[in-house]
């Protein structure tokens, strides 16, 4: 309490701004409005996905599977743009593992290729195969999975045994159930799960089609309810909105933390550079569907639109409001230009990857050992993301002076300190 | 640890930060007397490792293992300095791919050995190989892992040991060259159009290597084997196959203690406090007498390892809350952000 009081006083004294200036409170308000719109769009798209999944299970066909896959790809567009909220907002960060955990040991869920192997040193449950096993033992407990429900997935299976690779829920579990494993290595090609994996009676392939359908439906329903919860957090009166708007200085710190952490440690590092350095297609973010180029692109777009304070909704509506850009331009127009230029350059580099992938050069192929063209494309994105992080740090200094300290990767010591 | 939860803590910094010329002196000192000597040692030890491997490539050769240990020591002492030349061509990633939570290193090495992939015959071509099969952690598998060190044909494994060692020497030499031929100048002579626009940015970058280095030791070197109380993970300790897990924590305390001391050059009281905290943690570690943190599984010894981790957390807090404001810098984003 004392700490916040001091902080508010100090910052108020510091930011004695001229009349007509953009208020920090307006900037965090528009941030929350845009977040609310993105999660609402994600929710609408997830409901559509759940409908298509139900249709696939009710009358399985190649066409129905294709519709469900298309709905999944569409659902990723708004969702990926919300990833910029993860690292700065504890409410989002604590929750996001339910919907977007990755990478996963998919053998937990369903059948896998023999080359996948069995249980590993790191994970006893890596090949559990819940679809095929209505009863199993988990951490010494007998589990009855004869009925596959959303609760079974979220309360028992997800992160079972305390292992993060046991991803039982969310986009990537659904992705695996729609596409199957991508067995083409660093060649072109996504997973090739046949629609008959959901067929009825004798037409069923790989056994347990009914249980597989039950799993898929449960995972899709769970995604919808998880997104309902998050959309409510950002609506008027929601806790996530309150966390950024109650103290606009803290809110701005959270905005910038999200932008920088996603750009650097997560996207440039974990998601892009690591896969390239390992030449490992399993490090692809949307590996089953080969949608990784889009996943990267919309992550980048989320960072850019957070700075610019504008977002185009899935129905085409443009939402915009007072932005970080406005705020920076008031004190340091050159820095605002620099930030805008770097964000635009990143989007250019990510669009190159997307364009090449859509023209037939799959992201897997870009990761192949010795593929100079693929390496240049991916490193173009990585370098741009790293470079924009440097400028985000300059924005932090400009908006906060020496008074806002952005802590690194951990608040284990006192996570609630800012938000009380 | 998937969710290294991020929060933006807002703290009030005391108004007076170190004066401009003092800050420049600190940057100069750190570059000349902390950074350069470490990369010189690394380059020399890596060269020695490559030569030793040429003479004797057997996995259980005492001379080879000793040369490996010396070179790995030199890397750990420099491993926090992730700036400029280490980041070019993925050099630091290729020297040190760890943690490997998906077991990629043994998988790629086994693939190379089983196929007798000819890429293993040239350290230069080897730069195209997955980083998981390069550097000190891959070499540890080749020298110490029961399965990998005896897999396939011994002649091929021998070539692989020599090539990985040669690649380590090439990478280490390139990093040193990068510092000597430009980057030391870049850091110590900031320019408006340079990588560092002013002394403050250079100082911030060096400060950040300290905080990130401490976090690496807290979250990975200690945090990984600790796991949770219900699920301790001794086999996730760093370099346990060669029995080096605790040694790496000791080396990291020493090298980060040196850096912290230099950064605190103008704050004698804080300097002494940091030295004392580092010495306490080092003493606690020595008392554990547990080279691979096997004790994480036993509640009694586990408590003592947790206490050690807490002592390093306390050092990091001192660095963030006292040293940073003293220098007028704060840590920016780091590579451990994310999940």
**Residue B169 lies in domain:** 20-188
Cα A252 to the center of its chain, rounded Å = 21
Q: Are residues B26 and B54 in the same domain?
A: yes
Please report whether residue B335 resides in a domain.
Answer: no
Please report whether residue B95 resides in a domain.
Answer: yes
Tens digits of per-residue pLDDT, A237-296? 999 999 999 999 999 999 999 999 999 989 998 899 998 999 887 777 888 999 999 999
In this structure, what token pair is assigned to residue A270?
């974990």
Question: How many independent structural domains does chain B possess?
Answer: 2
Cis upstream peptide for B99 (omega within 30°) = yes
d(CA A189, CA A154): 31
Task: Extract long-range pairs of B39-42: CB within 8 Å, 24+ residues apart.
Answer: B39/B78, B39/B81, B39/B85, B39/B172, B39/B175, B39/B176, B39/B179, B40/B176, B41/B74, B41/B77, B41/B78, B42/B71, B42/B74, B42/B75, B42/B77, B42/B78, B42/B172, B42/B175, B42/B176
Please report whether residue B12 resides in a domain.
Answer: no
CA atoms within 13 A on the CB side of B298: 8
d(CA B153, CA A353): 41
d(CA B157, CA B148): 9
d(CA A213, CA A198): 6
Taking contacts as CB-CB distances below 8 angstroms, the residues of chain A near B108 are 278
Per domain, the residue ranges of chain A are 22-406+413-419
Measuring CA to CA, how many Å separate A28 from each of A308, A339, B218, B252?
A: 12, 19, 34, 41
d(CA A138, CA B212): 36
Give the model's pLDDT for residue A59: 97
Greater pLDDT, A189 or B125: B125
Q: Are residues B104 and B225 in the same domain?
A: no
Instruction: Check CB contact of B193 with chain A, cutoff 8 Å.
Output: no
Tens digits of per-residue pLDDT, B164-179? 999 999 999 999 999 9
Which of the residues B3, B5, B9 would you substitute to probe the A interface, choosing the one with the greatest number of A C-beta atoms within 10 Å? Answer: B9
d(CA A294, CA B219): 31
Give the model's pLDDT for residue A119: 77
Give the model's pLDDT for residue B13: 36
- Residues 82-101 of chain B with CB under 8 A from chain A are 90, 93-94, 97, 101
d(CA A255, CA A97): 20
Cα B258 to the center of its chain, rounded Å = 14
Q: Are residues B91 and B203 in the same domain?
A: no
B159: number of Cβ within 10 Å:
17
Q: In this complex, do B330 and A279 lie within 8 Å of one another by their Cβ atoms?
A: no
Residue A28 near residue A248, CB atoms below 8 Å: yes
Q: In this complex, do A409 and B336 lie within 8 Å of one another by their Cβ atoms?
A: yes
Q: Are residues B129 and B56 in the same domain?
A: yes
Shortest CB distance from A121 goes to which of B103, B128, B131? B103
- Arithmetic mean of pLDDT over chain A: 89
DSSP conformation class of B13:
P
Shortest CB distance from B336 goes to which of A273, A404, A408? A408
Taking contacts as CB-CB distances below 8 angstroms, the residues of chain B near A408 are 6, 211-212, 215, 331, 333-334, 336-337
Please report whether residue B332 resides in a domain.
Answer: no
**pTM listed for this prediction:** 0.88
In this structure, what token pair is assigned to residue A190?
């996504």
Q: In this complex, do B338 and A261 lie within 8 Å of one another by their Cβ atoms?
A: yes
Angle at B76 between CA B148 and CA B292, to 5 degrees: 55
As a whole-number percent, the residues of chain A with pLDDT over 70 amount to 90
Choose among A241, A239, A244, A275: nearest CA to A257. Answer: A244
d(CA B208, CA A409): 12
To the nearest whole Å, the CA of B6 is away from the closest chain A CA by 5
The domain covering A22-406+413-419 belongs, at the CATH homologous superfamily level, to M75 peptidase, HXXE motif (1.20.1420.20)
Give the model's pLDDT for residue A122: 74
Tens digits of per-residue pLDDT, A302-360? 999 999 999 999 999 999 999 999 999 999 999 999 999 999 999 999 999 999 999 99
Q: How many CB pairs under 8 A join A and B?
A: 181
Q: Which residue of B has its CA nearest to A406?
A: B8
**Which of these three, B188, B210, B225, is where a domain ends?**
B188
* Residue A8 clears pLDDT 70, i.e. is over it: no
Q: Are residues B28 and B141 in the same domain?
A: yes
Helices (H), B31-61: 36-55
Please report whether residue B63 resides in a domain.
Answer: yes
Give the model's pLDDT for residue B339: 60
Q: Are residues B97 and B176 in the same domain?
A: yes
d(CA A135, CA A124): 16
Shortest CB distance from B103 goes to which of A3, A120, A414? A120
Q: Are residues B77 and B166 in the same domain?
A: yes
Judged by average pLDDT, the poorest of A5-9, A11-15, A340-344, B271-275 is A5-9
Give the model's pLDDT for residue B333: 82
Q: Which residue of A has its CA nearest to B92?
A: A277
Q: Are residues B71 and B98 in the same domain?
A: yes
Choose among B166, B212, B335, B279: nearest CA to A272. Answer: B335
* Residue A110 clears pLDDT 60, i.e. is over it: yes
DSSP string, A64-103: HHHHHHHHHHHHHHHHHHTGGGTTT-HHHHHHHHHHH--S
**Which of these three, B157, B188, B219, is where a domain ends?**
B188
CA atoms within 13 A on the CB side of B338: 20
d(CA A181, CA A198): 16
Shortest CB distance from B12 goes to which of A7, A263, A410? A7
**Which of these three, B167, B188, B209, is where a domain ends?**
B188
- ipTM (interface predicted TM): 0.84
Q: Are residues B73 and B113 in the same domain?
A: yes
Q: Are residues B87 and B223 in the same domain?
A: no
Please report whether residue B289 resides in a domain.
Answer: yes
To the nearest whole Å, the CA of B127 is away from the closest chain A CA by 9
Tens digits of per-residue pLDDT, A55-67? 999 999 999 999 9
Binned at pLDDT 50, 70 and 90, residue A413 comes out as: very low
d(CA B159, CA B136): 16
d(CA A375, CA A396): 31
pLDDT along chain B (339 residues), means of 10: 32 50 95 98 98 97 98 98 95 95 91 96 93 97 96 96 98 98 97 93 95 97 95 94 98 98 96 98 97 96 98 97 91 71
Taking contacts as CB-CB distances below 8 angstroms, the residues of chain A near B236 are 122
H-helix or E-strand spanning residue A320: strand A318-320
H-helix or E-strand spanning residue A29: helix A24-58
Tens digits of per-residue pLDDT, A199-228? 999 999 999 999 999 999 999 999 999 999
Choose among A257, A268, A250: nearest CA to A346. Answer: A268
Helices (H), chain B: 20-30, 36-55, 62-78, 91-95, 104-115, 135-144, 154-178, 184-188, 199-215, 223-226, 245-263, 268-288, 299-318, 324-327
Give the model's pLDDT for residue B312: 98
Instruction: Check CB contact of B7 with chain A, cutoff 8 Å.
Output: yes
CATH number at residue B100: 1.20.1420.20
d(CA B198, CA B191): 6
Cα A107 to the center of its chain, rounded Å = 22
Sign for the CA dihedral angle at A78, A60, A146, A103 comes to: negative
Choose among B236, B211, B291, B248: nearest CA to B99. Answer: B236
Shortest CB distance from B337 goes to which of A6, A278, A408? A408
d(CA B252, CA B247): 9
Q: Which residue of B has its CA nearest to A415?
A: B7
Bridge partners, A312 (sequence order) = A318
Q: Are residues B160 and B287 in the same domain?
A: no
- Which residue has 């696939």 as its token pair? A56
Residue A352 near residue A321, CB atoms below 8 Å: no
A146: number of Cβ within 10 Å:
9
Q: Is A138 helix (H, G, I), strand (E, B) or coil?
A: strand
Q: Are residues B151 and B283 in the same domain?
A: no
Taking contacts as CB-CB distances below 8 angstroms, the residues of chain A near B102 are 103, 122, 165, 282
Q: Give φ, ψ of B270 to 5 degrees.
A: -65, -40
d(CA B90, CA A80): 27
Tens digits of per-residue pLDDT, A353-399? 999 999 999 999 999 998 999 999 999 999 999 999 999 999 998 88
């Amino acid at each position: 309490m004392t700490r916040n009081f001091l902080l508010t006083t100090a910052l108020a004294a510091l930011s004695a701004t001229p009349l007509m200036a953009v208020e920090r409170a307006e900037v965090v308000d528009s941030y929350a409005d845009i977040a609310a719109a993105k999660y609402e769009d994600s929710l609408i798209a997830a409901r559509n996905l759940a409908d298509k999944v139900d249709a696939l299970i009710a009358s399985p066909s190649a066409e129905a599977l294709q519709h469900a896959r298309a709905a999944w790809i569409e659902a990723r567009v708004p969702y990926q743009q919300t990833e910029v909220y993860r690292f700065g907002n504890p409410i989002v960060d604590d929750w996001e593992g339910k919907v977007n955990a990755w990478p996963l040991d998919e053998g937990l869920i369903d059948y896998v290729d023999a080359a996948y192997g069995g249980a590993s040193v790191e994970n006893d449950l890596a090949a559990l195969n819940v679809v095929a096993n209505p009863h199993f033992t988990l951490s010494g407990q007998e589990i009855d999975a004869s009925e596959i429900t959303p609760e079974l997935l979220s309360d028992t299976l997800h992160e079972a045994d305390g292992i993060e690779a046991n991803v039982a829920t969310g986009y990537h579990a659904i992705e695996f159930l729609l596409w199957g494993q991508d067995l083409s290595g660093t060649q072109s090609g996504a997973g090739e799960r046949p629609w008959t994996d959901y067929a009825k009676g004798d037409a069923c392939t790989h056994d347990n089609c009914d249980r597989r359908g039950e799993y898929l439906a449960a995972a899709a329903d769970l995604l919808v309810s998880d997104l309902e919860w998050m959309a409510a957090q950002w609506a008027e009166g929601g806790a996530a909105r309150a966390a950024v708007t109650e103290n606009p200085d803290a809110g701005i710190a959270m905005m910038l933390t999200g932008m920088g952490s996603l750009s650097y440690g997560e996207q440039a590092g974990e998601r892009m550079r690591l896969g390239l350095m390992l030449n490992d297609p399993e490090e692809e973010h949307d590996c089953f569907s080969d949608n990784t180029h889009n996943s990267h692109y919309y992550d980048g777009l989320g960072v850019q639109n957070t700075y610019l304070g504008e977002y185009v909704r899935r129905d085409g509506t443009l939402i915009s409001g007072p932005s970080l850009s406005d705020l920076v331009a008031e004190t340091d127009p050159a820095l605002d230009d620099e930030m805008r230029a770097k964000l635009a350059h990143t989007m250019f580099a990510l669009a190159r990857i997307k364009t090449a992938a859509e023209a037939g050069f799959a992201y897997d192929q870009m990761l192949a050992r010795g593929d100079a063209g693929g390496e240049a494309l991916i490193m173009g994105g990585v370098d741009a993301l790293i470079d924009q992080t440097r400028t985000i740090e300059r924005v932090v200094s400009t908006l906060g002076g020496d008074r806002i300290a952005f802590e690194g990767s951990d608040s284990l010591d006192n996570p609630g300190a800012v938000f009380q | 640890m998937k969710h290294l939860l991020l929060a933006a803590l807002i703290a009030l910094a005391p108004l007076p930060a170190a004066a401009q010329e003092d800050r420049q002196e600190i940057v100069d000192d750190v570059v000349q007397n902390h950074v350069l000597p470490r990369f010189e040692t690394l380059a020399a030890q890596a060269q020695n490792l490559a030569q030793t491997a040429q003479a004797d490539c057997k996995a259980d050769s005492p001379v080879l293992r000793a040369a490996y240990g010396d070179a790995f020591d030199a890397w750990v002492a420099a491993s926090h300095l992730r700036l400029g030349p280490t980041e070019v061509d993925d050099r630091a990633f290729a020297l040190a791919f760890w943690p490997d939570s998906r077991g990629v290193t043994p998988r790629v090495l086994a693939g190379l050995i089983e196929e007798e992939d000819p890429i293993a015959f040239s350290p230069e071509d080897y730069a195209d190989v997955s980083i998981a099969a390069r550097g000190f952690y891959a070499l540890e598998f080749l020298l110490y892992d029961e399965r990998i060190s005896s897999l396939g044909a011994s002649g091929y494994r021998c070539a692989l040991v020599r090539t990985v060692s040669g690649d380590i020497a090439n990478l280490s030499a390139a990093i040193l060259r990068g510092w000597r031929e430009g980057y030391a100048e870049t850091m110590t002579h900031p320019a408006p159009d340079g990588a560092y626009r002013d002394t403050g940015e250079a100082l911030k970058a060096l400060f950040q290597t300290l905080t990130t280095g401490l976090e690496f030791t807290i979250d990975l070197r200690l945090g990984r084997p600790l796991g949770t109380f219900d699920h301790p993970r001794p086999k996730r300790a760093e370099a346990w196959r060669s029995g080096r897990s605790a040694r790496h924590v000791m080396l990291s305390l020493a090298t980060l203690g040196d850096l912290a001391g230099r950064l605190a050059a103008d704050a004698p009281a804080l300097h002494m406090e940091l030295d004392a905290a580092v010495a306490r943690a080092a003493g606690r570690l020595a008392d554990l007498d547990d080279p691979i943190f096997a004790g994480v599984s036993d509640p009694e010894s586990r408590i003592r390892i947790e206490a050690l981790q807490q002592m390093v957390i306390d050092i990091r807090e001192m660095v963030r809350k006292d040293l940073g404001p003293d220098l007028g810098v704060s840590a920016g984003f780091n590579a451990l952000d994310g999940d």
